Amino acid sequence: MAKLYINPHNRKGHINPELQGHFSEHLGRCIYEGIYVGENSPIPNVNGMRRDVVEALREIRIPVLRWPGGCFADEYHWKDGIGPKESRKKMINTHWGGVVEDNSFGTHEYMELCRQLGCKTYVNGNVGSGTVQEMSEWVEYMTFEGVSPMADLRAKNGHPESWKVDYFGVGNENWGCGGNMTPQYYGNLYRRYQTYVRDYRSDRRIYKICCGPNVDDYHWTEGVLETTHDHAEGSHGFMNGLSLHYYTHPGGWDNKGYALDFDRDVWYETLDRTLYMEQLIRGHGAILDRYDPEKKIGLIVDEWGTWYQVEPGTNPGFLYQQNTMRDALVAGINLNIFNKHCDRVKMANIAQMVNVLQAVILTEGEKMIKTPTYHVFHMYKDHQDGELLESFLETEAIGTKEHQVPNLQESVSQGADGRIHVTLNNLSADRDYEVEAVLAECSVKAVAGEILTGAMDAHNTFEKPDAVHPQAFQGVQVSGGALKFTIPACSVLHLALEV
Ligand code: AHR
């Protein structure tokens, strides 16, 4: 019998709601079609935003949305996306599929989307091909309230009130698509560009995010921090966060495989590669600890998720892929890891929200489906703003010779509602496990459970939109502070305990 120990009396840190953040780029059918259809579309919309999609996203309490990229961010010139739509510049989205970008979704539309979602804003600026002036004016346009050229322009475009920019990214992947820079070169640019990302209101400070590493590029982390640390340490608002990007490519970048076509070996390889996230957080966290022992700088995992070959017959530049129980496990594992490292990880954004990579929602014309990954976010939402509790799981190694993973993986928090939330994943493709959970010096009054389970490749389609959906989980035996239950193979479980 597997044992899970929970100590409700040892709180390990606060779980920022932003650990369940999202990312939407001008890429494929994420923004256009997936979210924004325009005011004149026959698809029901509010100010151009799909009603069905916004409603579904509100249900998972999206805390924050990153925009406009991604690689697109370092090619984006924000002034192309303001003013009357008919006169907005049309251009080719060279990075993603070579399609026409008509700029009909710009700053005003993004802010309107976040208003409808009720989420925080995370705008990613352009360092790769943009100027300091351009970035500075964008911040002025969005946040300045008095008389100024940019505030006047915003008012002229129909929005006299300023917006709140909660997070601002100073460039994206500047080691690659964002300019192919060295860490020292970028570090110096960061120093310069961030200077002009001004806080125009003392009660609305912008959280500035410096471009961090790709995967295990510790050299980048070291180089950027080395170049900036005389400021990074202590100087308010110079650097609040450092990003990290890590995608799960089942067979590596050159052999990603397909979302729906995989076997048991690839299942374990995918989960093993996902668990690597923890090592990356520890590795980059250790470097950060040297420069920032007080953990003032957040690690911002602003791109994570599975990345497969695109669905056959779709535009390779659109990164459209299906989503199965394998993705549900990838989401559950990552979200548990972020919770467990909430002392350093302050935000994480799955890539991407709709129709791209590990999407929570897929659309086809007026139809919309929720993916298994969506349901995992729904099941984890009670961790938002919770306090991480100490927990320990006795596990056994399972999988293949090359890819061994623990059979179970968990995180536990005490929610704002006072309940204890346990999210437990069974990584086995075919074995159920009996679990005994013991809570130290605490007795459980009631348990509510929900589970997402199915075959490894179970997924939802436009014909069968509810093939995979959470179900009530019964069969938990409670005795004082101990619980006994059986978790089925290939599943994500959420237990809410009243104590
Ligand atoms: O999410 C797709 C792309 O992956 C982003 O544009 C880029 O930042 C990353 O390489």
* Ligand 1 pocket by Cβ (under 6 Å): 25, 69-71, 172-173, 303, 351-352, 357
* pLDDT tens string 175-227: 999 999 999 999 999 999 999 999 999 899 999 999 999 999 999 999 999 99
Task: Output the pTM of the full model.
Answer: 0.97
The pLDDT of residue 234: 46
Atom 5 in ligand 1: which residue has the minimum CA distance? Answer: 70
How sure is the predictor about 230, in pLDDT bands with cuts at 50, 70 and 90?
confident
pLDDT at 236: 57
Class of domain 2-8+389-498: mainly beta
How does residue 253 score in pLDDT terms, banded at 50, 70 and 90?
confident
| Cβ–Cβ < 8 Å for 204, 167 | no
- Both tokens of 230, joined, read 């005389």
d(CA 56, CA 494): 20
pLDDT at 378: 98
What DSSP string runs through 125-136? E--SS--HHHHH
Statement: residue 231 has pLDDT above 80: no
**How large is the average pLDDT for residues 246-252?**
94
Q: Which two tokens stand for residue 470?
A: 């959470």
- Is the separation of the CB atoms in 28 and 315 below 8 Å? yes
Question: With 50 as the cut, is the pLDDT of residue 458 above it?
Answer: yes
pLDDT tens for each residue of 46-98: 999 999 999 999 999 999 999 999 999 999 999 999 999 999 999 999 899 99
CA distance 192 to 170: 10
Q: For residue range 93-123, what is the model confidence (pLDDT) as tens digits?
A: 989 999 999 999 999 999 999 999 999 999 9
Which of 173, 269, 387, 410 is labelled catalytic?
A: 173
Residue 28 alpha carbon to ligand 1 centre in Å: 12
Q: pLDDT tens digit string along 473-485?
A: 999 999 999 999 9
In this prediction, residue 232 has a pLDDT band, given cuts at 50, 70 and 90, of low
Q: Residue 233 pLDDT > 70, yes or no?
A: no
The residue nearest atom 6 of ligand 1, judged by CA position, is 70
- Please indicate whether residue 173 is annotated as part of the active site: yes
pLDDT single digits (tens) 370-407: 999 999 999 999 999 999 999 999 999 999 999 999 99
- The whole-chain average pLDDT of the chain stands at 96
Distance, in Å, from the CA atom of 49 to the CA atom of 33, rounded to the nearest integer, reads 9
Contact 440, 8 (CB under 8 A): yes
Mean pLDDT on 259-271: 97
What digits encode the pLDDT tens for the residues 341-379? 999 999 999 999 999 999 999 999 999 999 999 999 999
pLDDT at 237: 73
Nearest atom within ligand 1 for CA of residue 303:
1
Active-site residue, 303 included: yes
Which of 173, 304, 352, 357 has most ligand 1 atoms within 8 Å of its beta carbon, as the pocket-test mutant?
Answer: 173
Q: Decide if pLDDT at 495 tops 70.
A: yes
CATH 3.20.20.80 in the chain: give the residue spans.
15-385
pLDDT at 421: 98
CATH 2.60.40.1180 domain locations along the chain: 2-8+389-498
Q: What is the CATH T-level fold of the domain 15-385, as seen in this structure?
A: TIM Barrel (3.20.20)
Give, using CA atoms, the residue closest to atom 4 of ligand 1.
Answer: 70
DSSP secondary structure, 412-447, as one string: EEE-TTS-EEEEEEE--SS--EEEEEEETT----EE
